[in-house]
Amino acid sequence: MNSVNIIIGSQMGSAEYVGEQLAEQLVTQGITTEVHDQPNFSQINQENTIWLLCTSTYGAGDYPENLLSFVEDINQVNDLKGLKFSVIGLGDTSYDTYNLAGRNLEQLLVSKGAQCIAERLELNILDEELPEDTALAWLPSWIEQINRI
């Protein structure tokens, strides 16, 4: 793996903060990392990289506003074979649409031929531990997984 592109979908800032914390940690591990908080599909490398999509769910299971055009662009693409990705979803378990945006994004990418390289991490904002702390604790096992690819 040459690099990680962290793609943020955030309405209120929580997913953005998680993504930024992960990026800092990846850089300290010597992994080239780029954060996209206003993702533009055509400007994000798909080769020799892994996409780490970090998104919250907004409203009734919707994507955050900053992710809408990115998702629309993915819908227009027929083939994403060769793209490797993982998803981190942030949500609130008191809603029946808990982490729906992350689940839908993962399903969309797989339907386009992209390869999901790790089980989706779902973060519940109601947990006592901060989402970024849970994500940072998860990161070493994710790095280990991607190093085996």
The pLDDT tens digits of the residues spanning 121-136 come to 999 988 888 999 999 9
Angstrom distance (rounded) from CA 139 to CA 134: 9
pLDDT value of residue 13: 86
Both tokens of residue 143? 């790095």
Residue 1 pLDDT level (bands cut at 50, 70, 90): low
Domains defined along the chain, listed by start: 3-142 (3.40.50.360)
Query: Would you mind telling me the total number of residues written for the chain in this entry?
Result: 149
Span 23-52, average pLDDT? 95
Span 45-69, average pLDDT? 93
pLDDT value of residue 147: 84
Task: Give me the sign of the Cα torsion angle 69, 74, 78, 80.
Answer: positive
Residue 27 has pLDDT above 90, yes or no: yes
Phi, psi dihedral angles at 28 (to 5 degrees): -65, -20
